[in-house]
Amino acid sequence: STASGPFSTMLLADMGAEVVKIEPPAGDGLRQWPPLNDGFSENFASLNRNKRSAVLDLKAPDDVALARRLILEADVVVENNRPGVMDRLGLGYARLSADKPSLLFCSISAYGQSGPRSGEGGFDLTIQAAAGVMSVTGEPGGAPVKCGVPLSDFASGLYAAFSISAMLAHVRAGGHGAHIDIPMFGCTLGIAALQTSEYFGNDRSPVKLGSAHPRNAPYQAFQAQDGYFAIAAGNHKLWLDVLRVVDMPALADDSRFVSTTARARNQAALKEILEAVFTRRPVAHWIDAFNEAGVPHARINDYAAALGDPQTEHMGWVQPLELPNGQQTRTFASPVRLNGQGFPIRRPAPGLGQHTDEIRAQYTAKAA
């Protein structure tokens, strides 16, 4: 994965962890990803704030020795190589935990540290395919599409950060360290609890429904006169509110729509009836009407609109960021607030090896 490890450690760094990113001489591959701002990757910057970067060549014995010292000084090490790579470098959990029993060693991989598929690599696309996400994404009968946001990468990073935080509490209470095994395949199945339970409940794999929902209706994107909008009438009261907005009270007694389950079963017919009304007025009209009625609603925002939303502005989520080359950009900061305060960006994303000398000096002095 390109993003899981960096995302998990950024979440921890946002919360105050001191993170040292170890990069090979060629750098993290994400540094090459466009858009490049005077040569520096905006994608890389979005996942690597609040970290220091040191370049180590793990084929060189001196650098392996330094990496070992760094790990033994740390509370946590996060790696997303294929299983076995860290062991071959002499930096595996078994070896290091013998010297430091409290060590938390978090390994993110495609399929996990053991099992028939553990040797396989994987990226977000192949994991979304393998774990079922692509089978429920897109329009019925359409070609396979993935979720546009790399769910598998980022969900795995969240699982990693959550597991590390929980285990840190355990270690600080006097518990033993652990090898935390984060399989992207399993994490992607884990966030699909509604889909896996649907399968266990009726022995049928869930199917693609476009923007619709298997158990709620009206709960999808609808066409208006000049575009689309979404409403989510997730319970019976909200359904009756929708009928007031479209002025069709008789539908409340229609046998096809009398319950949430019935509406979900007959949602294609329901969509046709509602869109006959919705297509007479523009999106703005319906957004205002559903806002007033208290029915959850949304425009189909692109990222420009979502980042420009007044709520985004109120929360202060978009922050200025200076890149190591002096260029200015913006970034999406941590969405979490504690007692009304967000988290500061203490350090911009580091240049490749920006802190190598400082870290070398710090840990060589400690060894002496």
Q: Which residues are catalytic?
A: 213
The 3-state secondary structure of 56-85 reads CCCCCHHHHHHHHHHHHHCCEEEECCCCCH
**Dist. CA 212–CA 206, nearest whole Å:** 12
Burial class (CB in 10 A: 0-12, 13-18, 19+), 136: middle
For tokens 């969509």, the residue is: 271
The token pair that represents 242 in the structure block: 């929708």
List the one residue out of 153, 122, 191 whose CA is nearest residue 46.
153
**Dist. CA 329–CA 291, nearest whole Å:** 34
The token pair that represents 221 in the structure block: 């994107």
Parallel, antiparallel, or unpaired for β 219-224 and 178-183? unpaired
**Could you tell me where the DSSP H helices lie in 327-368?**
356-367
**Measured distance between the N- and C-terminal CA atoms of the chain, rounded to whole angstroms:** 37
CB 231 within 8 A of CB 289: no
**Dist. CA 5–CA 106, nearest whole Å:** 9
Residue 263: Cβ within 10 Å count: 23
User: Which sign does the torsion angle of CA 42, 44, 48, 52 carry?
Assistant: negative
The token pair that represents 180 in the structure block: 């935390």
The token pair that represents 254 in the structure block: 């229609």
